[in-house]
């Protein structure tokens, strides 16, 4: 559960770090949005270092959680209801993440 929460926090930091410059560039937001964006991206990088396994495995598994959090962002922030295909894709990504993270490891 701790690892899952860490993945979700990592995904939110990355999405926020990318969304704020998007607001600046595409929605005529203030350039001041770049400061919290940089902080969020720095937090994203730091959070990646806290994951308890090899970095390549973390990056691979993180992708599944990222996709799922992004679909939630689509619904909550962008106010676009996900389609059943969006949800199915997110479910498949989470299944892939679980295979990567929960598979037996050689000792």
Question: Is there a domain that residue 59 lies in?
Answer: yes
Question: Is there a domain that residue 55 lies in?
Answer: yes
**What pLDDT sits at residue 54?**
78
Question: Is there a domain that residue 64 lies in?
Answer: yes
Question: Is there a domain that residue 13 lies in?
Answer: yes
What share of the chain in percent tops pLDDT 90?
A: 69
Four-point Cα dihedral 20, 26, 32, 36, nearest 10:
10
Question: Is there a domain that residue 23 lies in?
Answer: yes
What is the tens place of the pLDDT at every residue in 15-67? 999 999 999 999 999 999 999 999 999 999 999 889 877 788 888 888 888 99
Four-point Cα dihedral 33, 38, 41, 45, nearest 10:
-170
> What angle do the packed helices 84-102 and 55-76 form, to 10 degrees?
160
Helix (H) or strand (E) holding 72, with range, is helix 55-76
Report how far residue 49's alpha carbon sits from residue 72's, in angstroms, rounded to the nearest whole number.
24
Question: Is there a domain that residue 92 lies in?
Answer: yes
Tokens of 73: 């962002």
Tokens of 79: 């106010």
Question: Is there a domain that residue 56 lies in?
Answer: yes
Question: Is there a domain that residue 107 lies in?
Answer: no
Show the domain range for 15: 2-102
Number of domains into which the chain is organized: 1
């Amino acid at each position: 559960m701790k690892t899952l929460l860490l993945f979700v926090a990592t995904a939110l930091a990355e999405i926020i770090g990318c969304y704020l410059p998007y607001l600046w560039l595409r929605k005529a937001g203030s350039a001041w949005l770049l400061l919290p964006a940089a902080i969020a991206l720095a937090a994203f990088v730091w959070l990646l270092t806290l994951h308890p396994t090899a970095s390549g495995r973390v990056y691979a598994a993180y992708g599944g959680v990222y996709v799922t959090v992004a679909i939630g962002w689509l619904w909550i922030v962008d106010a676009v209801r996900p389609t059943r295909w969006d949800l199915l894709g997110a479910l498949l990504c989470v299944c892939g993440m679980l295979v990567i993270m929960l598979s037996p490891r050689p000792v």
